[in-house]
Amino acid sequence: MVPGTRVGLLGLGAYLPERVMENDEWTALVDTSDEWIRKRTGIQRRRIAADDESTVDMAAAAALGALEDSGLTARDLDEIIVATDTPEVFIPDTAAFLQARLGAPEVPAYDLGSSGCAGFVLALDVARARALSGDRKVLVVGVELLSRLMNWEDRNTCVLFGDAAGAAVVGRGENAVEILSARAGTDGTRSDILGLEVGGTRAPFSLDRARRGEHKNIVMDGRAVFREAVERMASCSTQVLDDVGVTVQDLALIVPHQANLRILEAVRDRLGATPEQLYVNVQEYGNTGSASVPVALWEARETGRIKTGDLVLLTAFGAGFHWSSMLLRF
Ligand code: ACO
């Protein structure tokens, strides 16, 4: 590597479907209320993809934004990574469709599939390693079309989610948003606490299961997820700060996975950060899985919440359980 050349984010992009669904719309569909949803989650509305929109449509829109922001085209890409729990089809992966859609060269393209809400930050770290080892320009996309796969009759889960896509190009560049440190982890002993079981080899898709609606049943122990999310995001974040030798007070902004306002506030308190240091947009978009961190980071930059030189912490947690944190310098 050329001394002084930074490896990091060269550009950011995001895509949010046009349709806005307010909490009140849920009250006509399930036994819930705007008050319950706001109080327990902080969510006020979310975006829902149009019927003719697919995962790849959303991923491509975010990717084109990130490429333009980087001053690059798809022809410049050396690798593509897609983090998603809601793929275009079961086989092959969404990254293959995205490579074709973008007209990118015949470069390696692969999904960090079913990696839950922590997938995007982990994919950024993989991209950083690839850029360090081979001077590659790597497109990283976090995309979820959760409204298409969730059970619209299960009030425990349906009110939480929204659709979105976010993207970044990772590579070397004097103006790159430098990735200073990244950490991630997995506790697979907790894999039964949050997931979608039907469709894999354990419970293959069948007409009987579909008639019972099991293919859309997101299994979730909300309280266990809540506790673990707070603990893991806080401790993983502390590790990346320690790696670089900075403290929470040095951070301009914390951009966490937007799961639930109460989770975000608990992580903030655990870290000893101030309300001004926490970026929150869960009220607008709900939980958009692996898209939530790139969308929030893009939005924070677009709205002037981040300046050159700022230290920004990303942190995410999701099914697996998987978690990941990353420290950036803009
Ligand atoms: N409307 C009204 N009532 C509801 C709804 C709803 N949409 N959903 C659940 N309830 C009911 C429950 O049935 C329960 O009723 P009961 O007491 O009669 O059994 C009651 O509300 C309270 O349930 P609690 O579990 O006490 O509610 P809690 O305060 O824990 O909030 C929530 C639930 C919002 C799911 C919370 O636990 C949470 O956010 N957990 C994290 C889950 C999460 O973020 N999942 C997303 C994927 S993972 C990730 O992104 C990190």
Q: Which amino acid is at 198?
A: V
Q: Is 41 in the pocket of ligand 1 (CB under 6 A)?
A: yes
Q: What is the percent of the chain where pLDDT is above 70? A: 99
Going by C-alpha positions, the residue among 320, 285, 299 that lies closest to residue 147 is 285
Q: Is the peptide bond before 317 cis (omega within 30 degrees of 0)?
A: no
Between 275 and 213, residue with greater pLDDT: 275
Contact indicator for 315, 257 with CB cutoff of 8 Å: yes
The predicted pLDDT at position 315 comes to 98
The predicted pLDDT at position 197 comes to 86
- Sign of the CA dihedral 48, 54, 60, 61? negative
The predicted pLDDT at position 3 comes to 45
Is the pLDDT assigned to residue 256 strictly greater than 90?
Answer: yes
* Three-state secondary-structure class, residue 70: helix
**Distance separating alpha carbons of residues 63 and 60, to the nearest angstrom:** 5
Ligand 1 centroid–CA 191 distance in Å is 19
Contact indicator for 141, 110 with CB cutoff of 8 Å: no
pLDDT-wise least confident of 181-185, 196-200, 231-235: 196-200
Would you tell me how many other CB atoms lie within 10 Å of the CB of residue 44? 17
Contact indicator for 101, 64 with CB cutoff of 8 Å: no
Would you tell me how many other CB atoms lie within 10 Å of the CB of residue 149? 17
Mean pLDDT of 204-232: 92
Contact indicator for 30, 268 with CB cutoff of 8 Å: no
Mean pLDDT of 248-262: 98
Mean pLDDT of 167-190: 97
The predicted pLDDT at position 246 comes to 98
Range list of β-strands (E), the chain: 7-15, 19-22, 45-48, 79-84, 109-113, 138-144, 164-172, 177-186, 194-196, 218-220, 253-256, 311-318, 322-329
Q: Which fold has domain 180-329?
A: Peroxisomal Thiolase; Chain A, domain 1 (3.40.47)
Q: Is 318 in the pocket of ligand 1 (CB under 6 A)?
A: yes
Mean pLDDT of 8-13: 98
Contact indicator for 100, 127 with CB cutoff of 8 Å: no
Q: Please report where in the chains the tokens 């001004």 appear, as a residue.
A: 276
Residues 34-47 pLDDT 10s: 999 999 999 999 99
Between 276 and 3, residue with greater pLDDT: 276
Domain ranges of the chain: 7-176, 180-329
Between 324 and 113, residue with greater pLDDT: 324
Contact indicator for 144, 87 with CB cutoff of 8 Å: no
Is the pLDDT assigned to residue 4 strictly greater than 90?
Answer: no
Give yes or no: 287 in active site.
Answer: yes
Mean pLDDT of 129-136: 94
Is the pLDDT assigned to residue 317 strictly greater than 90?
Answer: yes
Ligand 1 centroid–CA 160 distance in Å is 9
Q: Please report where in the chains the tokens 């930050």 appear, as a residue.
A: 121
Pocket test for ligand 1, best of 23, 153, 225 (most atoms within 8 A of CB): 225
Is the pLDDT assigned to residue 50 strictly greater than 80?
Answer: yes
Strands 311-318 and 253-256: parallel
DSSP 290-303: GGHHHHHHHHHHHT
**Distance separating alpha carbons of residues 87 and 198, to the nearest angstrom:** 15
Mean pLDDT of 123-130: 97
Q: What is the percent of the chain where pLDDT is above 90? A: 92
Q: Which fold has domain 7-176?
A: Peroxisomal Thiolase; Chain A, domain 1 (3.40.47)
Q: Is 23 in the pocket of ligand 1 (CB under 6 A)?
A: no
Q: Which amino acid is at 217?
A: N
Between 4 and 5, residue with greater pLDDT: 5
Give yes or no: 217 in active site.
Answer: no
Ligand 1 centroid–CA 31 distance in Å is 13
Query: Is-same-fold flag (7-176; 180-329)?
Result: yes
Candidate list 23, 158, 236, 257, residue with the active-site label = 257
Is the pLDDT assigned to residue 100 strictly greater than 80?
Answer: yes
Q: Is 316 in the pocket of ligand 1 (CB under 6 A)?
A: no
pTM of the model: 0.96
Residues 52-79 pLDDT 10s: 999 999 999 999 999 999 999 999 999 9
The predicted pLDDT at position 108 comes to 98
Candidate list 23, 158, 236, 287, residue with the active-site label = 287
pLDDT band at 2 (very low <50, low <70, confident <90, very high): low
